[in-house]
Amino acid sequence: MKREISVTLNGKPRTDEVEPRLLLIHYIRDVAGLTGAHVGCETSICGACTVAVDGIAVKSCTMFAVQADGKNVLTIEGLASNGNLHTIQEAFWNEHGLQCGFCTPGMIMVTKQILERNPNPTEEEIRHGLEGNLCRCTGYQHIVNAVKTAAAKTGA
């Protein structure tokens, strides 16, 4: 039996009927057609599916779409504005904070939360904030540098 949900997805309201067991990541990708958040481990270990729900970074593979009913959901696609990259996206680009790009959307979304909570984090605080997101390519230093650059630009 399907259930109707209403969410604000990247600033745009939408209403859809979904199965109660549909995960938020599958709602975002398969129903809404936004493929920026990636399906990785589906066990909340990798963080590739990270999005913001009411401003809080969540791993969308561990949340049902019905739990997002009435909430604001922000995906990587919602960060850019008028064709311009968000400061965090730009920092990841400029600092080579990506290689294959699979983890990048989740890393950027968690970075957004890190900087909202602490606009001037230390390297240790950055590394701690990124702990729940895995990258298998870069060795993390470029990602940490990207977070530092974004912090410097958003704090300026």
Name the domain count of the chain: 2
**pTM of this prediction exceeds 0.85:** yes
In one-letter notation, the amino acid at residue 90 is E
Higher pLDDT, 121 or 155: 121
Task: Sort 100 into a burial class: Cβ within 10 Å, 0-12 / 13-18 / 19+.
Answer: exposed
Same domain, 15 and 59: yes
CB 36 within 8 A of CB 100: no
Domain that holds residue 52: 3-77
Q: Does any domain span residue 114?
A: yes
Q: What is the pLDDT of residue 156?
A: 56
The residue among 27, 52, 77 that closes a domain is: 77
96, 37: one domain: no
Query: pLDDT value at position 99?
Result: 87
Please state the rounded mean pLDDT for residues 128-137: 92
Statement: residue 139 has pLDDT above 90: no
Domain boundary, last residue among 49, 77, 105? 77
Is 82 within a domain? no
